[in-house]
Amino acid sequence: MAYTREKFKKIEPWFEAINQDLLKAPISIVLLVTDKCACKCHMCTHWKMKKFHQLDYETFYSIMKTCEDNGMQSAFLSGGDCFSWEHWERFLQDETLKSAIQITSPFIVPEGFSLDLLSRLKWLRVSWDAVTSETFKKIRRTDKLDKIKEDLKYIIDNKIIEDVGMTTCLQKDNLAELYEMGEFLANLGVKRWIVQPVNYNPELEIPQESVPHIGAELLREFGGAFPINNFDVLIEDFKTYNSAENIPCVIPRMEAFIDTRLRVWPCCNIAQDSFGDEERANDLLMGMIHHGPNAGEEFLKLWNERKNYLDKFSDFKKIHKLCEYTCKFKYFYYNLGFASCKAERPTIYI
């Protein structure tokens, strides 16, 4: 189970620091840098927000630099979409920030943007939901597919980014071209493909009983082409997740999610915005910080005060309905890995 092993592997080097509460900063943070995006995807309502926000550079820099100085290893930038953030090029050229950077993006690159700037990134995750123009327009409500294909080819052929992966939101509208998508990505040279059935939208959901069959066909057709995939998870129909009991959530002790309004959340599941502005788990909000040069110090103070606040829940599924419903696609494997390590090796000396 390559997907599961990869998640486990990320936990192990940090086990003792997390277990003994030794971290001064999160190992990784997620920053939403802007709410704006070039797409209006029909499986998402983020673009329907009543008001769009973005991080000013002073605030962004303060959070990044302060966390880096206290041990943060990586940051995950998203939105909206980073390419719609007015400070995107400035950040990519800022050599004073050193941490490993990942972005998730529909990869609609503005005209005039130099793709070579993306060498600053360690990981690129592209939301990839269609391989034909007709389906792309239907899902994304924009006509940029040919440019995306061209830019992806340039990135991979010229080895601009170390790790390029694709994530597909599997839904009724793209199910018929799933294998065509796989063939295109394999020919492109992508080595990571994660396929997740759509959440939140009953009109787009594929029948649950179809998921294991789709996973088996993907594994048979593309298991060798994509060394990192989650086809095994689809095959088992999330049985590991569904049967998991009494596994606590350690995510806030190692990560934090900061949105464009500077609200601090334990993870993207609880902060999720796919239902729009009103569906927020405000009872689980870690707190808020303020714009300006002290944003980083304020964030670390808040995080250190609150990072253990989910420890009172013995089972991550019982924290909130969002955890029970969506964590099978996200952080469950980190929690499972931590619990497995703790059960097998209560003390690890690194």
Each of the 350 residues of the chain gets a pLDDT tens digit; together they read: 566 667 667 777 888 888 888 999 999 999 999 999 999 998 888 888 888 999 999 999 999 999 999 999 999 999 999 999 999 999 999 999 999 999 999 999 999 999 999 999 999 999 999 999 999 999 999 999 999 999 999 999 999 998 999 999 999 999 999 999 999 999 999 999 999 998 777 889 999 899 999 999 999 999 999 999 999 999 998 898 989 999 999 999 999 999 999 999 999 888 875 554 445 677 889 999 999 999 999 999 999 999 999 999 999 999 988 888 788 878 898 898 888 888 876 554 43
Q: What kind of fold does domain 121-244 have according to CATH?
A: TIM Barrel (3.20.20)
Q: Are 336 and 240 in contact (CB under 8 A)?
A: yes
Q: Name the strand (E) or helix (H) holding 193.
A: strand 192-197
What is residue 294's predicted lDDT score, i.e. its pLDDT?
A: 98
Q: Are 300 and 25 in contact (CB under 8 A)?
A: yes
Q: Are 199 and 158 in contact (CB under 8 A)?
A: no
Pick from 27, 25, 28, 120: nearest CA to 82: 120
What is residue 3's predicted lDDT score, i.e. its pLDDT?
A: 61
What is residue 347's predicted lDDT score, i.e. its pLDDT?
A: 53
What is residue 348's predicted lDDT score, i.e. its pLDDT?
A: 46
What are the contacts of 342-349 at 24+ separation with CB within 8 A? 342/15, 342/19, 345/15, 347/16, 348/12, 348/15, 348/16, 348/19, 349/16
77: which 2 tokens?
Answer: 């930038």
Q: Are 241 and 332 in contact (CB under 8 A)?
A: yes
β-partners of residue 77 are 31, 103
167: which 2 tokens?
Answer: 């994530």
How long a stretch of residues is the chain? Answer: 350
| Integer CA distances (angstroms), 49 to 80, 237, 271, 279, in order | 11, 33, 14, 12
pTM: 0.93
Q: Are 31 and 55 in contact (CB under 8 A)?
A: yes
Residues contacting 207, CB < 8 A, separation 6+:
none
309: which 2 tokens?
Answer: 């606040």
Domain assignments of the chain as residue spans, ordered by start = 27-105+249-331, 121-244
Q: How far apart are CA 306 and CA 284, in angstroms?
A: 11
